[in-house]
Amino acid sequence: MKVKQKFALQYIRARLKILSLVSPRKAAIKAFWFFGTPQQKAPHRASAVFDEGEPLSFRLQGHTVRGHRWLPHPTEPPLKKVLIVHGFESTARNFDAYVGAFLKKGYEVLAFDAPAHGASGGKRISLPLYVEMLATIVQNYGPIHSFMGHSLGGLALALYLEKTPHEEEVRLVLIAPAVEMTKAVDAFSQSMQLPPEVRTELDEYIQEFSGHPFSWFSLRRALFGVRARILYLQDEEDSVTPLEDALAVKKDGHPGIRFVFTKGLGHRKIYKDPEMQQQIVGFL
């Protein structure tokens, strides 16, 4: 952790502690929105691929969501449409290597930055907002036949697909997906040293905010409602989405999921690895 980030974390922790003495409820709301605020944005990467794509944008809850579309042939309909979905503190530009490969297959490619990420507006992201963004993309630019999502984006895709009618022909690639939001919130609460009463208020606030408890935002739960064929990639040494979470998903026994485990690639190198890229493109 950089020195600047460390001091910022200490400052927020102190503010939450003081606020919790006055109002655990207000402290919980403040903590919730801090939880969804990226502490660092992915550096802007120049990309000839993105310079060639068609810029797209739409408004969502007061924010401008920006993305790109690429067509394989100007005059011929694409064989399929594929949507690339990034993770927390990331950007669609991190997946530029996939665009050309999908175009060669005759696919139309769509990629957007979530609110508070990349070129899109906003300061915070929540899973309900991410899922709403996915629904809006499909409504505006669909139908979409293939999806790939990394980390938080993978969980958002599962939550979207479980409530959206789709056939088994739909393909989904999950790359080191977030599995249980409860775990992430517990870890966050510990790092922020939130008092028990604030943690309780945090649970109550998410229920009011989204209509669901934190436990509902679960990949394991959502996958029972997903009919798509799934490729699930997980590195054994991933420190962000632990191997044990992926093994728990595997233990659930979904017949439509093919698991691929790697070692030494971690949370982000896994989608940059040429062999994994080849498997992803081939599967979709």
Q: What CATH code is carried by the domain that includes residue 225? A: 3.40.50.1820
Q: Which domain holds residue 83?
A: 53-180+217-283
- Please tell me the distance from the alpha carbon of residue 190 to that of residue 188, in angstroms, as a whole number: 5
Give residue for tokens 């402290």: 27
Instruction: Tell me how far apart the alpha carbons of residues 119 and 97 are, in angstroms, rounded to a whole number.
Output: 18
In a domain, 202, yes or no: no
CA 7 to chain centre: 27
Alpha-carbon distance of 189 to 186, in angstroms, equals: 5
The segments of the chain whose pLDDT lies below 50 read none
- Residue 74's Cβ-count burial label (10 Å; 0-12, 13-18, 19+) is exposed
Q: CA-CA distance, 168 to 256, in Å (whole number)? A: 9
Asked, for residue 48, whether it belongs to a domain, the answer is no
The model carries a pTM of 0.94
In a domain, 26, yes or no: no
Residue 38 lies in a domain: no
* Domain presence at residue 228: yes
Q: Is the residue at 194 inside a domain?
A: no
Helix 127-141 and helix 196-210: axis angle, to 10°? 20
Query: Residues 278, 283, 78, 223: is their CA dihedral positive or negative?
Result: negative
Cβ density class 232-246: b for 16+ within 10 Å, e for less: bbbbeebeebbbebb
**Which of these, 113, 116, 109, 99, lies nearest to 66 by C-alpha position?**
113
Task: Yes or no: say if 84 and 98 are a contact pair by the CB < 8 Å rule.
Answer: yes
The helix/strand/coil state of 170 is: coil
Residue at 273: amino acid letter:
D
From CA 235, how far away is CA 272, in angstroms rounded?
A: 12
Tokens of 28: 């919980």
Structure tokens belonging to residue 75: 């005059």
What pLDDT shows up at residue 77?
86
Strand ranges of the sheet holding 54-60, from the earlier edge strand across to the other edge: 54-60, 63-70, 107-112, 80-85, 146-150, 171-175, 229-235, 257-262
The backbone region for 118, taken as left when phi is positive above 0, alpha when psi lies in -120 to 50, beta otherwise, is left
Number of domains in the chain: 1
Question: Going by DSSP bridges, is the β-strand pair 146-150/80-85 parallel, antiparallel, or unpaired?
Answer: parallel
Alpha carbons 14 and 19: distance in angstroms, whole number? 9
Residues 212 and 195: their CA atoms lie apart, in Å, by 22
User: Token pair of 52, please?
Assistant: 């060639």
Q: What pLDDT is stored for residue 19 in this prediction?
A: 84
Residue 185 lies in a domain: no
Q: Would residue 8 count as lying in a domain? A: no
